[in-house]
Amino acid sequence: MTDFSAHEQYGGEMFYLGFKGRLGRAKFWLLSLSWTGLLLSTLLYVVHPLEVGSDTVKFSLVALLFAAFYYVQLSLLVRRLHDIGKSGWWYVPYFFIPTTYLRFFNQNPEYEAPLIVSILIVLLAIFGMLNAGFAAGTKGPNKYDVEPTPVAA
């Protein structure tokens, strides 16, 4: 039996930054794009022109911003995966493996893989984004929470 007391406690809106609950398509895209815009504008208008004593401070600030951005995006994605009835662990094959491979292994000549592996990894990431971002959520309650309220037009 699933306990939906947290849903009832927050009045149906689950905008905290945890990993429980569900998030519909429209809210997922709205929040994801908002956070991305906030990060980019912060980098462009605050961090870039910031004159600090050393590059270490600027690097630390950028690393902190990216860590916060990554946490928020991960939270949104896990709740979106919950909405389509999938475990948040689907993040690993959909996004973590492709991102890690393309960022680290594909650029290192010692670990160079055949082109077909790179193509398959990119296709996996595209499928993951299409599935998580555009698949309809399950109707009614599922094992993660009740159906999220739709965005008003």
Residue 106's pLDDT is what? 64
Phi, psi torsion values for 16, nearest 5 degrees: -70, 170
pTM for the model: 0.74
Residue 152's pLDDT is what? 64
Query: How confident is the chain (153 residues) per 10-residue block, as mean pLDDT?
Result: 46 62 89 89 76 71 86 90 90 87 72 77 89 88 78 63
User: How many CB atoms are closer than 10 A to CB 96?
Assistant: 14
Residue 13's pLDDT is what? 46
Q: How far apart are CA 107 and CA 109, in angstroms?
A: 6
